[in-house]
Copies of this chain bind each other. A is one copy, B any other.
Amino acid sequence: MRIVAADTGGALLDEKYNPVGLIATAAVLVEKPYRTATLSVVKYADPFNYDMSGRQAVREEAFLAVELARKVKPDVIHLDSTIGGIEVRKLDEPTIDALTITDRGKEVWKDLAKDLQPLAKKFWDEMGIEIIAIGKSSVPVRIAEIYAGIYTARWAIDYARENGKAIVGLPRYMTVEIRSGKIHGESLDPREGGLFGEIEAKTEGIGWELYPNPFVRRFMVLEVWKE
């Protein structure tokens, strides 16, 4: 199968490791054997001006995934929202009310569905491709999360070149390595069966260090500086 998925991750941190805002939404095309992406795209947010309620993220993910899917025509699109693997085009009010999620979650989804349900319906009518809110259970969503972390590292390099230094937090239990001409990232959870990603990047003249975020176990911090 060919699956497009999207996820948002990576946060700009201040010197005390407080999150300022999220950085990268990545969409990926994942094909068998489902360990990395065949293709990836990114949309950067402005971490200094970020809506942390979670609504911005899901909306960006849906639109970026659809954009990539128009080109690569996958069998299905996976979004990172755990509402039971439901098809987004079917998300009308009664369906949302019937979901076994919190009332707060229902309000968020009623709001989100205003944009996303027509988007999903149009995409289904035109392309015959479903958008499914499958969430954490999806391996392609996890691969998108890893790519969000890798693109976050590239953002940090660019930011450090301009501003001298950047401190970013990576998505959950993943690591990155800045190599010559590329950034490699991978899951730190061996139970996931070896998920990883790689993108090209200008990496010369940059120093970096990766270490555990002392306040958030299982999350790594990446510091990048101009050398």
A residues with a Cβ closer than 8 A to B are 1, 3, 16-17, 30, 32-35, 134, 136-140, 142, 172-173, 175, 188-195, 209, 211-218, 220
- The answer for the CA separation of A192 and B218 in the assembled complex, in Å, is 4
Q: Name the contact of A212 in the complex, choosing from B17, B34, B209, B217 (C-beta under 8 A).
A: B34
Q: Name the contact of A193 in the complex, choosing from B33, B190, B194, B212 (C-beta under 8 A).
A: B212
Nearest B residue (CB) for A5: B214
- The answer for the CA separation of A115 and B84 in the assembled complex, in Å, is 35
Nearest B residue (CB) for A132: B215
In contact, A214 and B175 (Cβ under 8 angstroms):
no
Nearest B residue (CB) for A220: B193
Nearest B residue (CB) for A190: B188
Q: Name the contact of A139 in the complex, choosing from B30, B137, B172, B212 (C-beta under 8 A).
A: B212
Q: Chain B residues with Cβ under 8 A from A189's Cβ?
A: 190-191, 218
In contact, A138 and B211 (Cβ under 8 angstroms):
no
Given A188-B193, A217-B137: A211 and B33 interface contact (C-beta under 8 Å) = yes
Q: Chain B residues with Cβ under 8 A from A211's Cβ?
A: 32-35, 193
Nearest B residue (CB) for A1: B214
- The answer for the CA separation of A134 and B137 in the assembled complex, in Å, is 27
Q: Chain B residues with Cβ under 8 A from A191's Cβ?
A: 172-173, 188-189, 218
In contact, B136 and A214 (Cβ under 8 angstroms):
no
Q: Chain B residues with Cβ under 8 A from A172's Cβ?
A: 191
Q: Chain B residues with Cβ under 8 A from A194's Cβ?
A: 212
In contact, B142 and A217 (Cβ under 8 angstroms):
yes
Nearest CB of B to A223, in Å? 9
